[in-house]
Chains A and B, each alone.
Chain A
Amino acid sequence: MGRELWRRLRSWEGLLAILLLVVLAFNVTRVPNFLTVTNQINLFQLGIEKAIVVLVMAFVIISGEIDLSVASMMGLSAAVVAALFELGVPVPLAILVALGVGAGFGLINGFFVARVGLSSLAVTLAGYVGFRGLARLLVQDRSVGGFPAWFTDLGQRGLIGPVTLSILLFAILAVVAAVALHASGFGRLAYEVGNSAPAARFSGVPVARVKIAIFTLSGLVSALAGVLMAARLGAVRASTAEGFELDIITVVLLGGVSIFGGVGTMLGVLLSTYLVLNLRNGLVIAGVTGNTQTGIIGLLLILSVLAPNLWERGRAGLRRRRPEPSLRAPPVAPAGSMPSRAATE
C-alpha cells in the first residue's frame, strides 16, 4: 500500500503533480485574486491555443517525429480567415477554408515525411518558414480586424457561464486525445511507430499512413487554434502566434513525452500544460518580467529531469557495494525513454 503510493509518486506524472501542487500552493497563498473566476478563466484563455496544439503535438512526438510548423500554421490559418473576410467571404466559410488549408498542408508535411522519407525536422522547418511566409503574403503589413461580433464574442466571451468556446473545445479535445492515445487502436499504432518504425513495419503496421494521419491532424488542429486565436484577439497580423512552436514543444517534453518517440502519457501532458499555465499566471501577476518567466520555465524543464536522475544516481552509488543488476539507467544519449521513467519501470 505504502509502496504502491511511493511508486506512483516516483513516476513522471507523480513528479509533475507534486510540482503542480507547489505552484498552486504558491499561487493560492501569494497571488492576489488567484482563485477568482475571472482569473481562472484568464489563466486558461491566455494559453488556450497553445494548450490545444500541445494535445496533437504529443501524438507527433510520441510517433517519433516533430512538427516545427505548428505556430506558422496557426498564423497562416488566421491570415486565411482575415484575407477571405477582407474579400467579403462570409466568416464561417472562411473558417472552413482555413481548416482545409491546415489539413491540406498537414497532409503535405506527412507525405514528405512518410512517403518521400525526409526527416520531419527538415520538412516542417520548411513549413515553419513557408507557412509564415504565406501568412505574410496574405495580410502583408496590415492588421485585419472588424470581424463580425459573433466571431469575436466566441473567442472572448463565455459560452457556458464564463467558460469560453476555446476552453470548452480544449476540454473536449483533451478527453478525445486521451482516449485516442490510451484506449484506441490508433494510439497503440502511434506508440509502435514511435518505438521503432522498422519493427512496426515488419509487424504489419501501416507506418506511413499512421504518420500521414498524425501530421494531417497536426495541421488541422493548428489551423483550428489559429482561428480561435483570431477570434480571441479580434485582429489578425502576419506575425500571429510567432514563436509558439518552442513553447508548445517544451510543454510536451515537460509532460514526459520522449523526444525519441514511443514514450509519454496524455495525463503527463495535461499536468504539464496546467503547470505551465499556472506558473505563467502567477509570475505575471507577481510582476515578474517575461525574461525571468522564460528562465524559470527553462530551469524547471532541466531540473525536472535532472533532479530525479541525480537522486537516483546517488542511491545507486550507495548500493554499489552490493552486487547490482547492472546498468538500469539508459544510455547517455537516450535512445528510448526518459531516464527517470525508465528507472521506475
Chain B
Amino acid sequence: MSDTILRRVRPEQFRELILVVVTLGLLAFFATQIPGYFDPRSVNRLTVGLAIPLVVAVGQVLVVLTRNIDLSVSSIVGMVAYVVGTLLTRSEALSAPLAVLLSILLGAALGAVNGLIVAYGRVPAVIATLGTLALYRVVLVEFSGARTVTTADLPDWLNDVPSATLLAVGGYDLRLVVGVALLTVILGQFALRSLPFGRRLYAIGSNPAAARTAGLPVERDVFTAFALSGALSGLAGFLFLVRFGNITVTAAQGLELQVVAAVVVGGVNIFGGSGSMIGALMGVLLIEILQQSLLRWAGISEFARDAILGLLILLAVTADAVILGRLREAWVRVRRRDQERAQAATAGVGGATHGA
C-alpha cells in the first residue's frame, strides 16, 4: 500500500475495499472448484438470492447504527409474505403497485410497534425485538389456520416478477428484484451520507447521551429507524412472496441471524455509530456466496457443509480484521513519520515541505 494513499484516507475507509478483496478471493477459489461457476445461469441464481437478505440488511443497518438491533425482521418478512399472499389469492382487484404498497405499510406498522416499544417505552432493543420476533410469528400461526399460500392461487403477474429483467448482457441478467434491492442500498447510502436524518443516526449511535444533550430528536429518529427497518422487511416480504410463491407459516424463519451476520461481517459496528450500506452489501454478498457456493460444491458432503461454512465465516471476519489492523498500523506509522518530518522541517528551513 503506497504511502500517498495512506496519507489521503483513513484505513476505515478501506473497509469495503478489503471486503471486496476477500470476496473476490472467495470467488476465484470457488471458480476453480465448481465447473461453470460463472455461467450466466449460476450467476443469475446467485444475484436473485441476494435480493431478500439485502433489503432486510439495509433496514438493519439503520437500526444498528443507532446502537439498537432488530431481531424481529424474519417474522415481519414471513408475516407480510403470508398476509399479502393471502389477500392476493382472495381479491383479484389488488393490483401490483397496491400489493407492494400494502407490503411496505404492513411492515412499517410492525416496525413502528418495535419503534414505539424501544424509543418511547425505553425497552432495550434486544428484549423488545426478541419478544416481537416470537409474537409476530405467533400471530401469523394463529391467523393462518394452517393454510399455505400456493402459487396456483396467486395472480399470474406475480409469478412473472422473479424473471422480469431490467437489463441483460450476454445472458447475465439484472433482474427486477435485484434492481429493487440495489436501489434500496443506494437510497440508504444516500440517506446516511447526505440527509440530516442519516447523519443523526451516526451521532445517536456514537453517544446517545451526548446526542440528547445536543438536542437531537433521539426518540423520533430511533422510532423512524425501526419503522423503516419494518418497511424494508415488508418489501422483502413481498419479494419473498414472488420468489417462493408457496408460503407456509415458517416462512423466513432464521433470516434474522443471517442478516445480522451479514451486517456484522460488513463492518457495521454492532454497538452503533459506524458502518455503511456498501459494507452491508458486501457482507450480504460474502455470506450468500459462501452459502450458495458450498451448496454447489460437489466435493463437499451434505453433512460437512455447515462445518465448513462456520470456519469460512470465521476466516473471512478474521481476514478482514487482520488486514484492517495492518493498514491501521501502517497509517499510524506514515502519519507519525510525516509529523516528525514536518517538525524537522519547521525546525530547520522554516516550513517548505508539505504532504501532498
A338 and B303: CB pair below 8 A?
A: no
Interface residues of A in 322-341 (CB under 8 A from B): 327, 329-335, 338-339
B127 and A301: CB pair below 8 A?
A: yes
* Interface stretch (choices B186-194, B204-212, B234-242): B204-212
- With contacts A330-B122, A333-B204, A335-B209 taken as known, whether A133 is within 8 angstroms of B130 at the C-beta atoms is no
CA A332 – CA B207 in complex, angstroms? 11
Is A132 in the interface zone, CB < 8 Å from B?
yes
Task: Give the Cβ gap from A169 to chain B, nearest Cβ, in Å.
Answer: 28
CA A35 – CA B132 in complex, angstroms? 33
> What is the number of residues of chain B that contact chain A, defined by CB distance less than 8 Å?
60
Q: Which of B121, B131, B301 contacts A299 (CB 8 A)?
A: B131
CA A295 – CA B141 in complex, angstroms? 11
Is A20 in the interface zone, CB < 8 Å from B?
no
Give the one of B124, B126, B272 with max A CB within 10 A: B124
- With contacts A122-B264, A253-B126, A334-B122 taken as known, whether A134 is within 8 angstroms of B317 at the C-beta atoms is no
B311 and A125: CB pair below 8 A?
A: no
A140 and B303: CB pair below 8 A?
A: yes
Is B62 in the interface zone, CB < 8 Å from A?
no
CA A136 – CA B127 in complex, angstroms? 31
Q: Give the size category of A's interface with B.
A: 35 or more
Task: Give the Cβ gap from B75 to chain A, nearest Cβ, in Å.
Answer: 10
Is B94 in the interface zone, CB < 8 Å from A?
no
Is A123 in the interface zone, CB < 8 Å from B?
yes
Q: List chain B residues, Cβ under 8 A from A291.
A: 137-138, 141-142
CA A62 – CA B121 in complex, angstroms? 23
Q: Which of B142, B272, B317 contacts A126 (CB 8 A)?
A: B317
Q: List chain B residues, Cβ under 8 A from A141.
A: 303
- With contacts A333-B67, A333-B208 taken as known, whether A136 is within 8 angstroms of B122 at the C-beta atoms is no
Q: List chain B residues, Cβ under 8 A from A327.
A: 212
Is B119 in the interface zone, CB < 8 Å from A?
yes
Interface residues of A in 298-335 (CB under 8 A from B): 298-299, 301-302, 305-306, 309-310, 313, 327, 329-335
A310 and B304: CB pair below 8 A?
A: no
- With contacts A122-B265, A335-B67 taken as known, whether A129 is within 8 angstroms of B309 at the C-beta atoms is yes
CA A50 – CA B117 in complex, angstroms? 28
Is B135 in the interface zone, CB < 8 Å from A?
yes
B123 and A309: CB pair below 8 A?
A: yes
Is A235 in the interface zone, CB < 8 Å from B?
no
CA A246 – CA B325 in complex, angstroms? 32
B124 and A258: CB pair below 8 A?
A: yes
Which chain B residue shows the least CB distance to A138?
Answer: B303
Q: List chain A residues, Cβ under 8 A from B67.
A: 333, 335
A118 and B318: CB pair below 8 A?
A: yes
Which chain A residue shows the least CB distance to B66?
Answer: A333
Which chain B residue shows the least CB distance to A141?
Answer: B303
B305 and A133: CB pair below 8 A?
A: yes
Interface residues of B in 293-332 (CB under 8 A from A): 301, 303-311, 313-314, 317-318, 321-322, 325
CA A299 – CA B265 in complex, angstroms? 31
Q: List chain A residues, Cβ under 8 A from B131.
A: 298-299, 301-302
Grouping DSSP codes into helix (H, G, I), strand (E, B) and loop, the B interface class, with mixed when no group exceeds half, is: helix
Task: Give the Cβ gap from A288 to chain B, nearest Cβ, in Å.
Answer: 11
Q: Which of B118, B139, B204, B313 contacts A125 (CB 8 A)?
A: B313
A309 and B265: CB pair below 8 A?
A: no
Interface residues of B in 104-133 (CB under 8 A from A): 117-119, 121-128, 130-133
B122 and A332: CB pair below 8 A?
A: yes
* Binary A-proximity of B56-96 (CB < 8 A = 1, otherwise 0): 00000000001110000000000000000000000000000
Q: List chain A residues, Cβ under 8 A from B139.
A: 295
Q: Which of B66, B124, B306 contacts A136 (CB 8 A)?
A: B306
Q: List chain B residues, Cβ under 8 A from A253.
A: 124, 126-127, 130
Task: Give the Cβ gap from A98 to chain B, nearest Cβ, in Å.
Answer: 17
Is A137 in the interface zone, CB < 8 Å from B?
yes
CA A299 – CA B136 in complex, angstroms? 11
CA A16 – CA B43 in complex, angstroms? 53
Q: Which of B127, B208, B261, B325 contacts A122 (CB 8 A)?
A: B261
Q: Which of B124, B310, B314 contacts A338 (CB 8 A)?
A: B124
Task: Give the Cβ gap from B260 to chain A, nearest Cβ, in Å.
Answer: 7
Which chain B residue shows the least CB distance to A312?
Answer: B122
Is B257 in the interface zone, CB < 8 Å from A?
yes
Is A274 in the interface zone, CB < 8 Å from B?
no
B208 and A298: CB pair below 8 A?
A: no
CA A255 – CA B252 in complex, angstroms? 29
Is B338 in the interface zone, CB < 8 Å from A?
no
CA A123 – CA B316 in complex, angstroms? 11
Q: Which of B126, B142, B222, B309 contacts A332 (CB 8 A)?
A: B222
B257 and A339: CB pair below 8 A?
A: no
Is B12 in the interface zone, CB < 8 Å from A?
no
Is B167 in the interface zone, CB < 8 Å from A?
no
Can you name 28 A-B residue pairings with CB atoms under 8 Å?
Answer: A116-B318, A116-B322, A121-B260, A125-B260, A126-B311, A126-B314, A127-B310, A129-B313, A130-B307, A131-B310, A133-B307, A133-B310, A136-B303, A136-B306, A137-B301, A137-B303, A137-B307, A259-B124, A260-B124, A291-B141, A295-B137, A305-B123, A305-B127, A306-B121, A331-B212, A333-B218, A334-B122, A339-B124
Q: Which residues of A contact B (CB under 8 A)?
A: 68, 112, 116-119, 121-123, 125-134, 136-137, 140-141, 238, 246, 249-250, 253-254, 258-260, 291-292, 294-295, 297-299, 301-302, 305-306, 309-310, 313, 327, 329-335, 338-339
What are the 4 closest A-B residue pairs judged by CB atoms, nearest first?
Answer: A130-B310, A133-B306, A133-B307, A298-B134
Q: Which residues of B contact A (CB under 8 A)?
A: 66-68, 117-119, 121-128, 130-135, 137-139, 141-142, 204-205, 207-209, 211-212, 218-219, 222, 257, 260-261, 264-265, 269-270, 272, 301, 303-311, 313-314, 317-318, 321-322, 325
A122-B261, A305-B123 known, 9 other contacts, Cβ within 8 Å:
A116-B318, A119-B269, A126-B313, A253-B124, A254-B127, A327-B212, A331-B211, A333-B68, A333-B222
